[in-house]
Amino acid sequence: MMPFSDDDLCVAIKNFLPSVEAYVASHNGTMRYLGVKDGTAWIELAGSCNGCSMSSLTTKMVAQRKLRELIHPELTVESIFPGQEDQLPEGLVTDC
């Protein structure tokens, strides 16, 4: 069970996400934190990542793996592309 509240995770994710963004930027992509709910962080992948067939691997093997290492091993990361905001869950914690 995740021992952190979504408010705690929001702060941690915002602090550590820049270390993941550097990898995405090296591939001419961008990453933006959208929020967290129930231990799942939501990010938006844009730039060269938008529509890329490898974006799901970037989400799981880069973003999720690194944030699990830095924050908690049960943290989940999901991603959307620009224009898919309607796929986000209600009640995301975005302000921290």
pLDDT of residue 51: 85
Q: Give domain status of residue 45, yes or no.
A: yes
Q: Give domain status of residue 90, yes or no.
A: no
* Number of domains making up the chain: 1
Q: How confident is the model at residue 25 (pLDDT cuts 50, 70, 90)?
A: very high
Q: Give domain status of residue 91, yes or no.
A: no
Q: Give domain status of residue 52, yes or no.
A: yes
pLDDT of residue 52: 86
* Residue 36 CA from chain centroid, whole number: 8
Domain of residue 23, CATH code:
3.30.300.130
Token output for 47:
């730039």
Can you give the residue range of the structural domain that contains 59?
Answer: 6-84
Q: Give domain status of residue 95, yes or no.
A: no
Q: Give domain status of residue 89, yes or no.
A: no
Task: Assess whether pLDDT exceeds 80 at residue 1.
Answer: no
Q: How confident is the model at residue 34 (pLDDT cuts 50, 70, 90)?
A: very high
Residue-wise pLDDT tens digits, 46-94: 999 888 888 898 999 999 999 999 999 999 999 999 999 999 999 999 9
Q: Give domain status of residue 92, yes or no.
A: no
